[in-house]
Amino acid sequence: MILKDFLMMRHEILLTVVAMLILMMEIGWKKEERCSIKIISTILFFIITVVGFLPIETGVLFGGMYHTTDLIITCKNILNIGVLIIFIQSSQWLKMEANSDKTSEYFLLIISTLIGMNFMISSGDFLMFYIGLELATIPAAALAALELTKNKSGEAGIKLILSSALSSGILLYGLSMIYGTTGSIYFSDVMAAMSQSSLQVLAFIFFFAGMAFKISLVPFHLWTADVYEGAPINVTSFLSVISKGAAVFILTILLFTVFQPIVHLWHNVIFAISILTMTVGNLFAIRQTNIKRFLAFSSIAQAGFILLGIMGDNTFGFATIIYFVLIYIFSNLGAFGVAAAISNITGKENIQDYNGLYQTNPRLSLTMMLSLFSLAGIPPVAGFFGKFFLFTAAFQHGYYLLVFIAVVNTIISLYYYLLIVKAMFINKSDQPIQHFNNDFMTRLGLIICVIGMIVIGFASPILEYLNKLSF
Amino acid sequence: MMNFNLNLFVLIPFLTIIAIMMCRNNKQVRLTAAFGMSIQLIMAAILVFTYLHVRNLGDTAEMLFTQDYAWFSMPNIHYAIGVDGISVAMIALTSIVVFAGIFASWEVEFLSKEFFISLILLSTGVFGFFISLDLFTMFLFYELAVIPMYLLIGIWGSGPKEYSAMKLTLMLMGGSAFLLVGLLGIYFTTATASGNFSFNIIELSKGHMPVEMQRIFFPLTFLGFGVLGALFPFHTWSPDGHASAPTAVSMLHAGVLMKLGGYGCFRVAMFLMPQAAQELSWIFLILTTISVVYGAFGAIMQKDLKYINAYSSVSHCGLVLFAILMINKTAMDGAIIQMISHGIMTALFFALIGMIYGRTHTRLINEMGGLMKVMPFLSVCYVIAGLASLGLPGFSGFVAEMTIFVGSFQNPDTFHRVMTIIACSSIVITAVYILRVVGILLLGPIKNPHFDHLGDAKWYERVSTITLISAITAIGIAPLWLSDMIGISLRPVFEKLLAHL
């Protein structure tokens, strides 16, 4: 293997290099110099994101274990954009007394999970897939427990690691059955040997259960609310957007390639789980009072919507999924960004505390409103376009009832999103949250989200480009 | 060959919003909004004249002033705009009502910048809806119009405003849920001449949609638009919504938004799925007849002025859907005239109610009386509005209702004639509640001595009411120019519907 081929792994190599740099800065520099680690890491990551968009060769490495195509590179770039926004938004949280000495750990852990996700998406066989999956999961648990002084954070970390371990184990059991029945772990070989033997169906069920955990589908969603509530808010936004997005990407790739021969089987599974997830997520979100739990259940419902894209044609369905995840990144990070700004400065996380927010912090309220409307799927923000195309994808194969239920769920979700809008704009409060100014980085993060939400829907070249990508 | 850039109707409100965002005090906000919407009204007038001129010159294309830009290729979405006589009439209606609405809201003080921005955003959605020829673009503008409603009613409304706002928003979005499924169904199942799927209405109307698919998607689409057009039993958002909304919002909502429903039913549901429309019209006819009569009866029982008017709107908008479903050229002519006539009338009513409420601070008719002596200008306008509503000749209400009932009775079979007779009875019931209110409210001795010193209409209120009354009278006395404009545009729709008899 020559160096030129090795450079196909540009994303992973750059991430590893930056991770090493951060580690060396942490170890080598004195305490006073370490305060610049935050800004240096963010700038380095920005460079990685930009470099990621430069054209790159595609091909196969390590004898088939690693393969990249334009589609996979697009997925990785989208995840990079998301993590960049999260880094920008984290700057306020990292400035706080209790957190400033954990800066380099924070960056290292997130970059580690991102490396894992990149390998997972580029995998060509189940071993690389599993390595990537584990690398993406374990640092996330450490991230969830990062606020060492709070009980809830530790609880979140333990819940996340234990449930991840269990679901990984089940997934591995399924993979072992696939190996047992097909004699290979390479995707191409498995695809050729896939038939409908009962052991393979069982393997698929276990595999799907493990992945469904990662995406927080019902009934594997029970960890979501507690972990999201306990973890620091920027870690929550990371889990809800990036972790979920990466798992969705690889699940879709595997369903459309490896498990394609049993498509009529998993179409029914996805049908049922999609309906369950949307409905349960929406119904539980209505009663939430904590903004983080609220956004957790809303993320569960959104994951149900994403499954609709899987019911469409291969190219178009995947294009709509990627498009939706991109829009979902901007919308969700917008909502979490506002919640994080309020939580970091005032410590308030209850929806009741948001009453009358428009009077004191109009721009924050407007950003939150735009994000919520985007999540609900109301024009003219991008969320409308994302949801509409997902429905179109599901309609392609005649799943009228599914689309109908999905649209009804959109209405239900609109109800609880409007509850927050009501709190901010309509409800009056004796003690609304005081007006506060955000620092430059927070504002930048929120502005990026707002611009993304407004522009992406109308910019048709994005969807056109995604449609042209193929497996 | 004259051309008119229809994008102006979306661009002018958008620019007005930007201008308002830069205003610094309430006075500037109001003047900017008034200026912007006056320009919009002038544009609409120019459009009407240009349209008539081009038609007179002999252009018989189905849609005029069309523009088409490919937007997405998969699914096949274009930004396609164009107008025919019906759209032109609806655009004229909207600009008149918005113009009157701005002046009726002259006294809004609390967050007035946000109020006018939301109001104009709402009207942008409506204008965009009427100029769109592509189903996706139409749907986009339709949903755009719903969200400012929530804020407008929730923040500036009165009474149980949060409840009404939430109920209205959720029910209207529920309608759009049905509509979305219907639109996607039309897209995927219609075989067009070019071979690709399309969202373009004209292309779809020339294509072929299998009847089995039509039977599934026609009810969904009709219901989707029908919720907005106050189809029984999905009209329940209307009384609370209208009553709790601030004046201009009620005007815009009852006057224009409910007509979106009627227009959509006509342009999308019946135009694109004619066979199913013929087969299933009887179900919806029963529902609309119930709307007409139930709305009228409901109005009799109400004690709050706004609720009376809200139920009256349910009844009149039900009449629009009723006439469309009769699938008769005269009746459909009447339906469009009724849309415009009722739009202006109800806007006038809500404006007047708002002005009366602003002075007496009560909307209960029992607490008011003898207002004719106190505010003669407003009372005379109210009497005129009332007479127009119950169909007095000389005003537009008569023209519309006459046309509708004559057309509907032309259907020879028993079912349609019975429905027509039942719907006709609403004329009497309307007279009951209108005249009763006029009597209690305006005539007789002054009930409450505190009302003695209330002032009459101010200049901006006079602008508002006089605009609307002139419009009603113009249509009532000389409906020819309007019905001609509509009649030509109705022909292709009607031919398509008749072709499958």
pLDDT digits (tens, 9 = 90+) for A252-293: 999 998 888 888 888 889 999 999 999 999 999 998 999 999
What is the average per-residue pLDDT within B96-114? 87
A63 near A128, Cβ under 8 Å?
Answer: no
Are B154 and A378 inside 8 Å of each other by CB?
Answer: no
Domain count, chain A: 1
What is the average per-residue pLDDT within B36-46? 91
Are B169 and A403 inside 8 Å of each other by CB?
Answer: no
pTM of the entire predicted model: 0.92
Give the residue from B309, B298, B297 showing the smallest Cα distance to B354.
Answer: B309
- The span from the CA of B391 to the CA of B393, in Å, is 6
Quote the pLDDT of residue A333.
94
- The span from the CA of A384 to the CA of A373, in Å, is 8
Residue of B69, B71, B72 to mutate for A, most A C-beta atoms under 10 A: B72
Q: Over the range A345-364, which residues count as b (16 or more CB within 10 Å of their CB) and which as e?
A: beeebebebbbbbbbebeeb
- The span from the CA of A320 to the CA of B189, in Å, is 21
User: Band of the pLDDT at B1, cuts 50, 70, 90?
Assistant: low
Please, where are the H alpha helices in B209-273?
A: 211-228, 237-244, 247-252, 258-264, 271-272
Residue of A378, A391, A412 to mutate for B, most B C-beta atoms under 10 A: A378
- The span from the CA of A202 to the CA of A105, in Å, is 40
What is the average per-residue pLDDT within A115-123? 94
Output the CA angle A242-A245-A249, nearest 5 degrees. 140
Are A460 and B146 inside 8 Å of each other by CB?
Answer: no
Asked if the model's pLDDT at residue B61 lies above 80, the reply is no
Quote the pLDDT of residue A391.
92
Are B169 and A414 inside 8 Å of each other by CB?
Answer: yes
Asked if the model's pLDDT at residue B501 lies above 70, the reply is no
B184 near A395, Cβ under 8 Å?
Answer: yes
Quote the pLDDT of residue B120.
92
Asked if the model's pLDDT at residue A247 lies above 90, the reply is yes
Which residues in chain A are closer than 8 Å to B180, comparing Cβ atoms?
Answer: 388, 391, 403, 407
Going from the C-alpha of B352 to that of each of B103, B250, B439, the distances in angstroms are: 12, 11, 16
Q: Hey, what amino acid is at B120? A: I
Quote the pLDDT of residue A8.
85
pLDDT > 70 in chain B, percent: 99
Chain A segment 134-193 residues within 8 A of B by beta carbon are: none
Residue of A316, A381, A414, A460 to mutate for B, most B C-beta atoms under 10 A: A414
Is this complex scored with an ipTM above 0.90? no
Most confident option among A186-200, B186-200, B214-228: B214-228
Residue A132 vs residue B56, higher pLDDT: A132
A411 contacts chain B (CB < 8 A): yes
- pLDDT tens digit string along B469-482? 998 888 888 888 78
Cα-Cα-Cα-Cα dihedral sign, residues A48, A52, A57, A58:
positive
Distance of residue B155 Cα from the nearest chain A Cα, in angstroms: 5
- The span from the CA of B298 to the CA of A263, in Å, is 55
- pLDDT tens digit string along A44-68? 999 998 988 888 888 888 888 888 8
- What tokens were used for A82? 């998301």
- What tokens were used for A321? 């999924």
Residue A296 vs residue B108, higher pLDDT: A296
Which residues in chain B are closer than 8 Å to A373, comparing Cβ atoms?
Answer: 147
Distance of residue B170 Cα from the nearest chain A Cα, in angstroms: 6
What is the average per-residue pLDDT within B126-154? 90
> A-B interface: how many C-beta pairs under 8 angstroms?
77
Q: Hey, what amino acid is at B265? A: C
If you search the block for the tokens 């320009």, which residue do you land on?
A: B39
Quote the pLDDT of residue B490.
78
Q: How many CA atoms lie within 13 A of A234 on its CB side?
A: 27
Distance of residue B9 Cα from the nearest chain A Cα, in angstroms: 17
Q: Going by C-beta distance under 8 Å and a sequence separation of 6 or more, which residues neighbour residue A460?
A: B71, B72
- pLDDT tens digit string along A348-403? 888 888 888 888 888 889 999 999 999 999 888 899 999 999 999 898 888 889 99
pLDDT > 90 in chain B, percent: 25
Q: Going by C-beta distance under 8 Å and a sequence separation of 6 or more, which residues neighbour residue B450?
A: none
- pLDDT tens digit string along A190-208? 888 888 888 888 999 999 9
A407 contacts chain B (CB < 8 A): yes
CA dihedral B361, B365, B369, B371 (to 10 degrees): 60
Give the residue from A153, A321, A328, A197 showing the smallest Cα distance to A248.
Answer: A321
A409 contacts chain B (CB < 8 A): no
Going from the C-alpha of A269 to that of each of A170, A255, A310, A322, the distances in angstroms are: 18, 12, 11, 21
A410 contacts chain B (CB < 8 A): yes
pLDDT > 90 in chain A, percent: 54
A15 near A115, Cβ under 8 Å?
Answer: yes
Q: Which of A378, A404, A422 sits opposite B147 (nearest CB)?
A: A378
- The span from the CA of A408 to the CA of B284, in Å, is 22
If you search the block for the tokens 């080598």, which residue do you land on?
A: A28
Distance of residue B202 Cα from the nearest chain A Cα, in angstroms: 21
Least confident of B17-21, B25-29, B282-286, B454-458: B454-458
User: Band of the pLDDT at A224, cuts 50, 70, 90?
Assistant: very high
- pLDDT tens digit string along A310-328? 888 788 889 999 999 999 9
Quote the pLDDT of residue A206.
94
Q: Which domain holds residue A364?
A: 3-468
Are A380 and B140 inside 8 Å of each other by CB?
Answer: yes
User: Band of the pLDDT at B500, cuts 50, 70, 90?
Assistant: low
* DSSP track, A166-194: HHHHHHHHHHHHHHHHHS--BHHHHHHH-
